[in-house]
């Protein structure tokens, strides 16, 4: 073999060129981004990715797995979506609007805008209640429909099972 | 039918779940696969491009190259290459571009999170690099993911007035956008062809997929890929529906349930429309705005003119129906302003109205980044640009800038200086 063993591969030259251009631009903006508080900004940039991939994703994936398992054990695996969807949507609203919902910016918000900063928690709870309520209604409707189908089948014993 | 579990694909994985996330079988969701990732990727390709362009427009709308007082990023260098004189037509221009920027950004959050979830196994893939190009691509992905989350997080925090990020919002969000976009561009060039290839199956989601994201040992599905996309879209729709109303007055704003500047208007009467900073918040004392104490100083051409409110009322007064649009993405519908044209004030110190120059406007307010701001000559010359004394048929309220405020069509809210004390006309 003439080719030296385990010579490091370069990869596509076009890809290398593209990435070099990308890093040049990112570097040009990056030194300006890091100019004031380089450590704080770098911590936020890397921390955002780490926090998302190693904390947020395992957290909601784990919660989802637990939900599927609990409902599966209770024999209601088909209910998963009826709990998962409202929980996901409500959690999404909480994630995005956490500073408002938690009330941590309420004083600043009121002083700057002359609007009340206190209503967000109750509004989020109301939206959450509406989401779960709507989901429950859909589940009941579906159960009723299934029940009716089953009864209809019983009344027609010739129907193919 | 979707995502049939692939049985017995590799006995090596056994029945036990692998402990290491670097093993493909660790990831068991039957949703992951090229089709799911490609749909989300193409949505983000379009969405983030719109966010970047509207963001650049917002940056230009501040006219940062006009005067240091407008420029929060004096070290921008080449990144300001495209700057242009921000127009005054149509008057709802900034309302539209910035409303789009913030509302779309909020609505894209579920898509971003779903996209990141769909590719998370790749983060742990081994070996770390197959080639130099692959190693650099993975490094670039850190900028892409970190930069993307940084941009979305700083934006979402800023609109909620939660200034916990390390520095001033403007430079962080602006330079951060360029870092993110550099990585985004490389990623888009590398991945878009494959994503579009995958999307040829858009109408008929493939029942069986192969690819690095497909779990070799998938769990039994509880939802179809189409259903999962529906949930992501539902999340976007929910965020959009509870946000978009804050770009309008009255009942529409009431539909913006969970968002700053949503819900009911502040107070009642002619001044009951949105306020960015109240008089109390920036330290305006009622004594300094009183009829006796307040004087507007107009300078330029080496001349100085001092006018009280009564003297201003003797000048020709004009009406203009103009909105207020904030960088935070909220805006008001048109309000009826009445006051003195900026170009008529320039005429007081000897400028022809059709060749009126730029102006530096200074407020009584003690603090705040834009207590001094500059307007360009095209903004000064527009007949709808006013030093307003009235709004909606009544005196300005203290929170809307009594005794006098600037209102300019299509300008970002902070350039519509309130509690104006001094105007210096001349080329900046």
Q: pLDDT at position B13, please?
A: 41
pLDDT tens for each residue of A107-116: 999 999 999 9
For B132, the closest of A16, A81, A108 (CB atoms) is A16
A15 contacts B133? CB cut-off 8 A: yes
Q: pLDDT at position B388, please?
A: 98
Q: Radius of gyration of chain B from Cα atoms?
A: 27
**B250 occurs within a structural domain:** no
Indicate if the pLDDT at residue B206 is higher than 70. Answer: no
B258 contacts A99? CB cut-off 8 A: no
Indicate if the pLDDT at residue B274 is higher than 70. Answer: yes
**Token pair 């949507």 is at which residue?**
A89
For A25, the closest of B182, B223, B260 (CB atoms) is B182
CATH number at residue B388: 3.90.420.10
Which secondary-structure segment (H or E) carries B307? Answer: strand B303-307
In angstroms, rounded to a whole number, what is the distance separating the alpha carbons of residues B283 and B245? 30
For B239, the closest of A25, A96, A100 (CB atoms) is A96
**B351 occurs within a structural domain:** yes
Indicate if the pLDDT at residue B10 is higher than 50. Answer: no
**What Å distances lie between residue B211 and B24, B133, B206, CA to CA?**
11, 20, 12
Q: Where are the domains of chain A?
A: 38-75, 79-156
Indicate if the pLDDT at residue A27 is higher than 80. Answer: yes
Pair (B223, B335) in one structural domain: no
Residue A31 vs residue B21, higher pLDDT: A31
Q: Provide CB contacts within 8 A for B32, sequence distance 6+.
A: B118, B121, B213, B214, B215
**B259 occurs within a structural domain:** no
Indicate if the pLDDT at residue B202 is higher than 90. Answer: no
A79 at interface of B, judged by CB pairs closer than 8 A: no
In angstroms, rounded to a whole number, what is the distance separating the alpha carbons of residues B188 and B40? 13
Task: Locate the chain A residue with the closest alpha carbon to B154.
Answer: A44
Pair (B89, B234) in one structural domain: yes
**B354 occurs within a structural domain:** yes
Look at residue B318 and give its three-state secondary structure: strand
Indicate if the pLDDT at residue B208 is higher than 70. Answer: no
pLDDT tens for each residue of B388-407: 999 999 999 999 999 999 99
Pair (B237, B341) in one structural domain: no
Average pLDDT estimate for B222-249 = 95
Token couple for B79:
């990144």
Pairing type for strands B420-425 and B296-300 reads parallel
Question: Contact B409/B89 with Cβ under 8 angstroms?
Answer: yes
**B317 occurs within a structural domain:** yes
Pair (B168, B307) in one structural domain: no
Average pLDDT estimate for A82-89 = 96
Pair (B231, B289) in one structural domain: no
Average pLDDT estimate for A84-96 = 97
DSSP symbols for B245-289: GGGSSTHHHHT-TTSTT-SSPSSSSTT-S--SS-TGGGT--TTTT
B186 contacts A16? CB cut-off 8 A: no
A10 contacts B276? CB cut-off 8 A: no
Q: pLDDT at position A98, please?
A: 97
Neighbours of B158 (CB within 10 A): 20
A152 at interface of B, judged by CB pairs closer than 8 A: no
A43 contacts B79? CB cut-off 8 A: no
Task: Locate the chain A residue with the closest alpha carbon to B190.
Answer: A15
Indicate if the pLDDT at residue B128 is higher than 90. Answer: no
A94 at interface of B, judged by CB pairs closer than 8 A: no
Pair (B47, B125) in one structural domain: yes
Domain total of chain B: 2
Confidence of residue A10 (pLDDT cuts 50, 70, 90): confident
Pair (B353, B237) in one structural domain: no
Domain containing B406 equals 280-425
pLDDT tens for each residue of B290-306: 999 999 999 999 999 99
Q: Count CA atoms closer than 13 A to B190's CA, side-chain side.
A: 22
pLDDT tens for each residue of B28-37: 999 999 999 9
Beta partners for B305? B298
Contacts of B73 in chain A (CB under 8 A): 32
Pair (B111, B174) in one structural domain: yes
Q: pLDDT at position B109, please?
A: 98
Pair (B360, B419) in one structural domain: yes
Pair (B71, B139) in one structural domain: yes
In angstroms, rounded to a whole number, what is the distance separating the alpha carbons of residues B92 and A137? 42
Look at residue A156 and give its three-state secondary structure: coil
For B176, the closest of A10, A33, A109 (CB atoms) is A33
Confidence of residue B366 (pLDDT cuts 50, 70, 90): confident
Average pLDDT estimate for B136-159 = 97
Confidence of residue B65 (pLDDT cuts 50, 70, 90): very high
Confidence of residue A157 (pLDDT cuts 50, 70, 90): low
Distance from CA of B200 to the nearest CA of A (A): 25
For B133, the closest of A10, A77, A95 (CB atoms) is A10
A129 at interface of B, judged by CB pairs closer than 8 A: no
Distance from CA of B55 to the nearest CA of A (A): 15
B281 contacts A11? CB cut-off 8 A: no
In angstroms, rounded to a whole number, what is the distance separating the alpha carbons of residues B271 and B282? 18
**What Å distances lie between residue A34 and A49, B65, B70, B209, B396, CA to CA?**
17, 22, 21, 43, 42
For B136, the closest of A16, A29, A111 (CB atoms) is A16
Indicate if the pLDDT at residue A90 is higher than 90. Answer: yes
Of B241, B270, B301, which closes a domain? Answer: B241
Look at residue B292 and give its three-state secondary structure: coil
Distance from CA of A156 to the nearest CA of B (A): 28
- In the sheet that B420-425 helps form, which strands lie side by side, from edge to edge? B303-307, B296-300, B420-425, B359-363, B372-375
Confidence of residue B17 (pLDDT cuts 50, 70, 90): low
Q: pLDDT at position B11, please?
A: 39
Of B241, B269, B289, which closes a domain? Answer: B241
Pair (B75, B213) in one structural domain: yes
Confidence of residue A18 (pLDDT cuts 50, 70, 90): very high
Confidence of residue A140 (pLDDT cuts 50, 70, 90): very high
Nearest to A29 by CA among B41, B229, B356, B59: B59
Q: pLDDT at position B3, please?
A: 38
∠ Cα A119 A123 A125 (to 5°): 125
Contacts of B399 in chain A (CB under 8 A): 114
Task: Locate the chain B residue with the closest alpha carbon to A12.
Answer: B133
Distance from CA of A20 to the nearest CA of B (A): 9
Of B241, B267, B296, which closes a domain? Answer: B241
State the count of interchain CB pairs (< 8 A) between A and B.
Answer: 206
Distance from CA of A142 to the nearest CA of B (A): 16
Contacts of B113 in chain A (CB under 8 A): 92
In angstroms, rounded to a whole number, what is the distance separating the alpha carbons of residues B234 and B248? 23
Contacts of B142 in chain A (CB under 8 A): 46, 49
Beta partners for B360? B374, B424
Quote the mean pLDDT of chain B.
92
Q: Which of A 35-74 lie inside 8 A of B, CB atoms?
A: 35-37, 40-41, 43-46, 48-49, 52-53, 57, 61, 68
A9 contacts B131? CB cut-off 8 A: yes
Distance from CA of A33 to the nearest CA of B (A): 5
Q: pLDDT at position B9, please?
A: 38
Pair (B205, B323) in one structural domain: no
């Amino acid at each position: 073999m003439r080719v030296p063993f385990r010579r490091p591969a370069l990869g596509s030259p076009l890809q290398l060129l593209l990435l070099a251009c990308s890093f040049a631009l990112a570097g040009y903006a990056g030194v300006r981004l890091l100019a004031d508080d380089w450590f704080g900004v770098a911590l936020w940039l890397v921390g955002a990715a780490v926090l998302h991939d190693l904390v947020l994703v395992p957290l909601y994936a784990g919660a989802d797995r637990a939900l599927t398992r609990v409902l599966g054990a209770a024999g209601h695996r088909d209910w998963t979506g009826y709990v998962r969807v409202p929980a996901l949507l409500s959690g999404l609203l909480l994630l995005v609007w956490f500073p408002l919902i938690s009330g941590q910016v309420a004083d600043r918000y009121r002083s700057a805008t002359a609007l009340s900063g206190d209503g967000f928690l109750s509004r989020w709870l109301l939206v959450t209640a509406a989401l779960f309520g709507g989901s429950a209604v859909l589940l009941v409707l579906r159960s009723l429909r299934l029940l009716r189908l089953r009864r209809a089948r019983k009344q027609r014993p010739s129907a193919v099972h | 039918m979707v995502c049939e579990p692939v049985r017995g694909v590799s006995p090596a994985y056994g029945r036990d779940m692998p402990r290491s996330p670097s093993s493909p079988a660790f990831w068991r969701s039957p949703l992951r696969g090229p089709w799911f990732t490609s749909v989300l990727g193409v949505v983000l390709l379009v969405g983030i491009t719109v966010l970047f362009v509207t963001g650049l427009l917002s940056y230009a709308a501040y006219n940062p190259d006009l005067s240091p007082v407008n420029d929060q990023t004096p070290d921008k260098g080449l990144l300001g290459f495209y700057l242009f004189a921000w127009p005054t037509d149509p008057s709802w221009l900034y309302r539209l571009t910035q409303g789009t920027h913030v509302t779309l950004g909020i609505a894209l959050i579920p898509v971003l999170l779903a996209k990141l979830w769909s590719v998370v196994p790749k983060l742990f893939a081994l070996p770390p690099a197959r080639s130099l190009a692959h190693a650099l691509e993975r490094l670039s992905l850190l900028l892409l993911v970190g930069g993307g989350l940084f941009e979305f997080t700083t934006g979402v925090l800023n609109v909620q007035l939660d200034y916990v990020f390390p520095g001033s919002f403007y430079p962080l969000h602006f330079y951060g956008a360029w870092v993110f976009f550099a990585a985004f561009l490389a990623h888009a060039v590398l991945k878009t062809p494959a994503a579009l290839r995958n999307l040829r199956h858009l109408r008929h989601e493939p029942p069986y997929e192969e690819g690095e994201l497909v779990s070799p040992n998938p769990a039994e599905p509880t939802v179809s890929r189409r259903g999962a996309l529906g949930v992501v879209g539902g999340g976007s729709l929910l965020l959009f529906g509870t946000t978009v109303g804050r770009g309008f007055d009255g009942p529409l704003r009431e539909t913006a349930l969970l968002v700053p500047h949503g819900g009911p208007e502040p107070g009642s009467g002619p001044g009951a429309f949105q306020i960015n900073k109240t008089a109390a918040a920036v330290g305006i004392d009622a004594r300094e705005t009183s009829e006796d104490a307040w004087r507007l100083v107009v300078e330029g051409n080496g001349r100085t003119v001092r006018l009280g409110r009564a003297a201003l009322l003797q000048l020709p007064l004009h009406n203009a129906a103009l909105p207020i649009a904030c960088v935070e993405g909220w805006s008001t519908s048109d309000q009826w302003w009445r006051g003195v044209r900026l170009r008529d004030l320039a005429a007081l110190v000897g400028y022809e109205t059709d060749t009126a120059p730029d102006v530096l406007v200074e407020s009584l307010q003690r603090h705040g980044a834009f207590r001094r701001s500059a307007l360009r000559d095209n903004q000064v010359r527009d007949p709808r640009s006013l030093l307003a004394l009235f709004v909606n048929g009544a005196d300005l309220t203290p929170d809307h800038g009594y005794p006098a405020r600037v209102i300019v069509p299509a300008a970002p809210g902070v350039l519509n200086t309130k509690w104006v004390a001094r105007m210096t006309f001349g080329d900046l």
